[in-house]
């Protein structure tokens, strides 16, 4: 039996691109605001959220690069 090829439609690619952009802009903005905050516990929380968005960006890129993803 042949395996299904890894294909992303044009519409899917556009949506993945949008999701990447949303997460990238969010991560970049949150890193900026974290650098402006003086409260260390709030700064740590902001950095954690920014890292989460960066992880989402890497995940979306791995999809586009055709890497196998282990779902949790």
Q: Domain coordinates of the chain in residue numbers?
A: 10-64
- Mean residue pLDDT across the chain: 88
Give CA–CA dist 10/22, Å, rounded.
Answer: 18
Q: What is the pLDDT of residue 72?
A: 45
Q: What is the pLDDT of residue 68?
A: 59
Q: What is the pLDDT of residue 50?
A: 97
pTM of the model: 0.78
| Nearest of 8, 43, 50 to residue 26 by alpha carbon | 50
Average pLDDT over residues 24-37: 96
How crowded is residue 27: how many other Cβ atoms within 10 Å of its Cβ? Answer: 19
| Nearest of 30, 1, 17 to residue 61 by alpha carbon | 17
């Amino acid at each position: 039996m042949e395996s299904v090829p890894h294909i992303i439609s044009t519409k899917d690619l556009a949506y993945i691109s949008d999701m990447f952009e949303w997460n990238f802009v969010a991560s970049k903005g949150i890193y900026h605001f974290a650098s402006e905050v003086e409260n260390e516990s709030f700064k740590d929380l902001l950095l954690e959220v920014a890292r989460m968005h960066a992880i989402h960006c890497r995940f979306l890129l791995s999809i586009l690069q055709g890497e196998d993803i282990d779902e949790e």
